[in-house]
A and B are shown apart, each in its own frame.
Chain A
Amino acid sequence: QGKFTLLRDTRTDGSFLVHHFLSFYLRAGCKVCFVALLQSFSHYNIVAQKLGVNLTAAKERGQLVFLEGLKSCLDLLFGEEEEQPGQPSPLQFLSESPFDLRALFDFVRVSLSATDSDSWKGPVLLVDDLTVLLSLGATPVAVLDFIHYCRVHVCSQLKGNIVVLVHSNEDLEDEENELVVNSLCHHSDLILWAEGLATGFCKDVHGQMKIIKRLSLQQVGEQDLVQVYQYKIQERNVTFFARGLSAAVL
């Protein structure tokens, strides 16, 4: 309860983690607000079906609030003049100030409110992926502020969880990106870091996952617990195994 999980990927695609958490929380009966900035609804829907969850049904019964970033953006830019007053687009910052992600936060706040706590077990905010906001011109500070507000609202007030995906690659000198990612790392309770293998592409091992449990945040003097596994992604599943012990080798 009240945890902030950071999904991080480097040189590989960590979106399989997003799909996992989405179906995990939906199956657990939580109310999920999914800010999907990078892919369309049907993409997530199709993958979720393979994992055994129906997103359309979840949306209909109110368990899932889905923000399709691509569609919102088009509506904002090409939409008709008469917008409903008092309901600004969550991606307002695109056409207005890049320093202010308040509209996006308001969307989250309205979607996950205290009144839902009767029907669902705990609210969850899921974001895929946060670094796209930087590509769209938002400043790093605005992005961090947004996350901060979300944390206060979701984790502290509602005792819900937040899961956020970010891309990072330290070699690339993307300062804005690294600023956001490092800052989030410091504040996360759990970090799942998917990396491409340092030795290059391999058919049987798609990457390496570092799991960092930030015990140092809970108690002074505790060390973070770091575990490393390698993984292979399959059609409906991801298998994890200890380093060097992939099924292809054994």
Chain B
Amino acid sequence: LVFTEEDKYGLYSNLLFKYFLAEGIVCGHELFVASAKEHPDNILKELPAPLLDDTHGEKLGDEAAAVKSEDFQDSMKIAWRYQNLPKIEASPTTYTKFGHYYDVSKKMPSELLQSIKWHSFYLHEELSSQPKMKACNMNSAYMRLLQSLQRIISQGGFDGTDPQKKPKNILRIGIQSLGSLLWGDDICCSETPEDAHSLTKFLYVLRGLLRKSLSACIITVPAHLIQNKAIMERVTNLSDMVVGLESFIGSERETNPLYKDYHGLVHVHQIPRLNSLICDVSDTKDLAFRLKRKLFTIERLHLPPDLSDGVSRASKQELAGSAKLLSSGCGAMAIGKKHLDF
């Protein structure tokens, strides 16, 4: 089941989602893909192809795998992204050892796809079997998804219950457009939904499943459709990492000269604070993304240099105004945003 959280049109969140899955394939993890919108087979066919560097391609893979297995020993993350946003393939200069790069214009070769084991959950194809879970007032679609997940986790030996299972691997779970109408949940439709707790209950149980097993999960949620702010807060509370994607398509920011190099903004609302008192907070919170022909990058947002001589006072003020809006919106410390103050 694939859930995509889209910024509005779901373009970029879909991309991010695919990156997550593609990374799983390249690292040899198992995949579980769930969706109510597109058939998972189609999604998997559309994954971007990895850019394999000849000089240190293999070394890259080994190191990436090593780093990942350390990370995931007993910590699992629910990366919940709403709106489009590319994943953290940020600055290509440093940190090249973590993760892989992908070429968005090419598709993942099918041999790579065949090399790993993957499971899919397409809501409309699932038989309405009697769930073995005890009833708990949750949306039946969610219940079925949870049940399927739990079954895969215990059968695949991801939760360590069966010591005879083969060497531990990681299960990457991707769930697209959770909370949307396609799942039978009405929180996206009205401000006072009838069943306000299904999603939060689902997330709680999912969190439990993730904590108990070697898995990582990305969920996309059409947050712009959810009108009830309380639910968003509760969902944030139940997630480890929350990232929002805001694309400029169709909004007034598209033509704003501040943003001409970028396609959208990344809002990092929460980062995981696991196994430690502190969390790894980066210096800046202003991130933007852009989709070039081949690469999807997230970068620190910086203003383009103000080179024009004959810019009228009015437009400069406008820029200053939007810069302030940006800072307050992201709640950021304005590093590198030494824009003129009017």
Which residues of A are in contact with B by a Cβ distance under 8 Å? 13, 15-16, 19, 38-40, 42-43, 46-47, 50, 70-71, 73-74, 76-78, 94-95, 98, 131-132, 134-137, 167, 169, 171-177, 200-203, 233-236, 238
Further pairs besides A13-B273, A46-B275, A172-B230: 14, Cβ < 8 Å: A39-B211, A78-B132, A78-B150, A94-B137, A95-B136, A134-B234, A135-B238, A136-B197, A136-B201, A137-B137, A171-B229, A172-B232, A234-B277, A236-B277
- For this complex, into which size category does the number of interface residues on chain B fall? 35 or more
Q: Contact at B201–A74, with CB atoms within 8 Å? A: no
Which of the residues A43, A94, A98, A177 comes within 8 Å of B274, measured between beta carbons?
A43
Task: Kindly state the separation between the CA atoms of A95 and B134 in the bound complex, as whole angstroms.
Answer: 7
- Neighbouring A residues of B234 by C-beta, 8 Å: 131, 134-135, 174
Q: Contact at A173–B150, with CB atoms within 8 Å? A: no
- Knowing A70-B207, A174-B229 are in contact, say whether A135-B277 is a contact too (CB < 8 A): no
Q: Contact at A203–B136, with CB atoms within 8 Å? A: no
- Neighbouring B residues of A132 by C-beta, 8 Å: 204, 237-238
Give the segment of B17-25, B46-54, B257-265, B326-334 that binds chain A.
B326-334
- B224 → A minimal CB distance (Å): 16
- Neighbouring B residues of A43 by C-beta, 8 Å: 274-275
Interface string of B270-288 (1 = CB under 8 A from A): 0001111111010101000
- A140 → B minimal CB distance (Å): 12
- Knowing A77-B136, A167-B237 are in contact, say whether A235-B150 is a contact too (CB < 8 A): no
Which of the residues A98, A202, A238 comes within 8 Å of B277, measured between beta carbons?
A238
Task: Kindly state the separation between the CA atoms of A47 and B277 in the bound complex, as whole angstroms.
Answer: 7
- Which of B197, B209, B233 has the most C-beta atoms of chain A within 10 angstroms of its own C-beta? B233
Task: Kindly state the separation between the CA atoms of A39 and B276 in the bound complex, as whole angstroms.
Answer: 12
Task: Kindly state the separation between the CA atoms of A222 and B77 in the bound complex, as whole angstroms.
Answer: 47
- A34 → B minimal CB distance (Å): 16
Q: Contact at A201–B136, with CB atoms within 8 Å? A: no
Smallest Cβ-Cβ distance to B131: which chain A residue: A77
- A92 → B minimal CB distance (Å): 10
- Neighbouring A residues of B273 by C-beta, 8 Å: 13, 15
Q: Contact at B212–A42, with CB atoms within 8 Å? A: no
Task: Kindly state the separation between the CA atoms of A79 and B182 in the bound complex, as whole angstroms.
Answer: 29
- Knowing A132-B238, A200-B328 are in contact, say whether A73-B197 is a contact too (CB < 8 A): no
- Neighbouring B residues of A177 by C-beta, 8 Å: 230
Q: Contact at A47–B275, with CB atoms within 8 Å? A: yes
- Which of B132, B278, B330, B333 has the most C-beta atoms of chain A within 10 angstroms of its own C-beta? B278
B325 within 8 Å of A by Cβ?
A: no
B133 within 8 Å of A by Cβ?
A: yes
- Knowing A73-B205, A74-B209 are in contact, say whether A203-B333 is a contact too (CB < 8 A): yes
Question: What are 21 residue pairs bridging A and B, where the CB atoms are less than 8 Å apart in the complex?
Answer: A15-B273, A43-B275, A46-B275, A46-B276, A50-B277, A71-B212, A74-B208, A77-B134, A77-B136, A95-B135, A95-B137, A132-B204, A132-B237, A135-B203, A136-B204, A137-B137, A137-B200, A174-B230, A177-B230, A200-B331, A202-B333
